[in-house]
Amino acid sequence: MAKQGEKREKRFTKKEWSWIMYDWANSIYATNIMAAIFPTIFVSIAGEAGDIWWGYGTSIATFVVAILAPILGAVADYKGMKKKLFTLFMLVGVVFTFLIALVMNNWKLMLVGYILSRIGFSGSCLFYDSFLTDVTTDERMDKVSSWGYAMGYIGGSTIPFLISIAVLLILGYSNPIAQKFSILITSVWWLVFSLPFLKNVEQTHYVEKTKDNSIGQIFRSVGRTAKEIFQRKGLLLFVLAYFFYIDGVGTIISISTAYGTVLGLGTVGMILALLVTQIVAMPCSIIFANIAAKVTARKALIGAIILYTLICVVGFYMGFSLEPHQAAYEQATQAEYTEPLAELQGEKALSLRDEVAGLFTDKDAATKIAEMKAGLTEEELGDEEIGQVFAAAESFLQSGGGEDGAITRFRSAISFSTILFWAMATLVGTVQGGIQAVSRSYFGKLIPKERSNEFFGFFDIFGKFASVLGPFLYSLIGGWTGRSSFGVLALIALFLVGLIIMIRGKEAFEELDAA
């Protein structure tokens, strides 16, 4: 009988599984919209400064949620409110994600849709995290939290992601229908797999409503929670460390493909590398929870922060080694291919000039240009300006991109940086889910269950303000220096500050663990 009881204890309850399934539901947004597909679409439509606008848009969305989080948390802790607010924000995210697909001819409206959908996504995650205290016990919290991330990676981050990639490969990455599909499937998947949560998860820990439910009472409650956090040194140090290291984690998720796109890395290759991240992250999230149980959460988190610092170094060198070759290539293309064709008048010739220019870095550029030429009509081939386009392209390719061989050197640099991107994606996969899952469950064990949403509101505000700082720092330093690689380098400072706090606060953390 004892063994049967142990087996039942190891199994997830219906509430736990339903809670876990929301990670399965919403992770497609994190992959398709925040990390892999939509950023590259947005940058290609918005143009050269697309990654900078992307960084600012991410900062705005996270700033709004960060400001609202403690107040929403205080309201959600009242009986019956947490589920209502969760549902509201989830639907805002789903609806505005859907609407992005309808305005893809206007990058400014796309950015607005992204900001609002991300507010909905982040807001729903705030309430979702706090429901962890309602669906399970302290003893099972690390396991349930880690399985949430694990199922998110293998489910929402992999299955619909692969479907999206397949459609993009079959129809062509620049095909508007394929691009819209990758956004629409996000909304549908997110909504459908949220249903178990909506049906089975309920708020079991709450604060009873009083006669005084005024705005003043809500702010007093927020103030009381803030005071409690500041009075507990270990808890305060943890949320401060979390502020900095989760900043770097979130920024890497948000800007990785936009960064790679600006550097000229192949879009399909980058997305496949990020798919490896999801696959690696699934088992590693569970393994990370087991490691935390053996060596303490603090030591496991320190190890993850050190690895993320290494990831930033790899990301910086990936761009730093490529950017000079990229600049030389662009200069050579402008001087030796584009400028001699600057006087073209024909619409077809101008279109071909720009289309051909986009093929030069492809190792099969000569073959693809020849195929493009073979697809023209005799009348088009007889056009003098079209002939000039192909003659200039063939001459530019034969020279290797000018006297300095700019094309050859840029292709070689891209190949090296692509390898580094794959290495970085694999490293991220080993710690991305674990560092988030253990941070969430570690915090959840330390707070009053009936006021979990209020405390998670402060937990979230530290994370969200960090997500404001990270993308802003990347955009500011990248824009100021003119080199996105220096924006990535700046992120190392965030991990180092978090690491110092986690190491120097050893005594306070040990007291917290003992309590």
The string of DSSP codes covering 174-198 is T-HHHHHHHHHHHHHHHHHTTHHHH
The verdict on residue 334 lying in a domain is no
Residue 333: which of 409, 397, 266 has the closest Cα? 397
User: In whole angstroms, what is the distance from residue 176 CA to residue 475 CA?
Assistant: 28
Residue 194: which of 242, 254, 128, 250 has the closest Cα? 128
pLDDT reported for residue 113: 95
Cβ atoms of 468 and 165 closer than 8 Å? no
Give the count of domains, the chain.
1
- What single-letter DSSP state applies at residue 450? G
The verdict on residue 330 lying in a domain is no
pLDDT reported for residue 4: 43
Q: CATH number for the domain including 73? A: 1.20.1250.20
User: In whole angstroms, what is the distance from residue 105 CA to residue 495 CA?
Assistant: 38
What the block records as the tokens of 259 is 């960064």
Q: Packing angle between helix 159-171 and helix 176-192, nearest 10 degrees?
A: 160
pLDDT reported for residue 222: 63
The verdict on residue 329 lying in a domain is no
The verdict on residue 391 lying in a domain is no
Residues 6+ apart with CB under 8 A from 283: 150
User: What are the per-10-residue average pLDDT scores of the chain (515 residues)?
Assistant: 47 90 91 84 82 83 80 73 91 96 91 95 87 83 83 79 88 89 95 94 72 57 70 80 87 76 71 78 84 84 93 88 80 79 80 79 78 81 82 79 73 82 87 85 73 69 66 83 84 92 83 67
The verdict on residue 347 lying in a domain is no
pLDDT reported for residue 213: 54
Q: Packing angle between helix 406-445 and helix 452-481, nearest 10 degrees?
A: 160
Domain interval for residue 40? 13-205+214-324+410-514
Q: Which residue has the tokens 């429901």?
A: 131
The verdict on residue 355 lying in a domain is no
Amino acid identity of 150? A
Average pLDDT score, the chain: 81
pLDDT reported for residue 220: 66
Residue 435: which of 253, 264, 302 has the closest Cα? 302
User: In whole angstroms, what is the distance from residue 371 CA to residue 348 CA?
Assistant: 16
pLDDT reported for residue 37: 85
pTM: 0.71
Q: How far is the CA of 494 from the CAs of 39, 109, 317, 465, 498, in angstroms?
A: 23, 32, 18, 13, 6
Would you mind telling me the total number of residues written for the chain in this entry?
Answer: 515
Q: How far is the CA of 26 from the CAs of 121, 197, 392, 415, 470, in angstroms?
A: 8, 12, 49, 33, 22
The verdict on residue 382 lying in a domain is no
User: In whole angstroms, what is the distance from residue 506 CA to residue 499 CA?
Assistant: 11
**What phi, psi does 207 have (nearest 5°)?**
-105, 130
What the block records as the tokens of 467 is 């997500």
From the number of C-beta atoms within 10 Å of its C-beta (0-12, 13-18, 19+), residue 387 rates as middle
The verdict on residue 352 lying in a domain is no
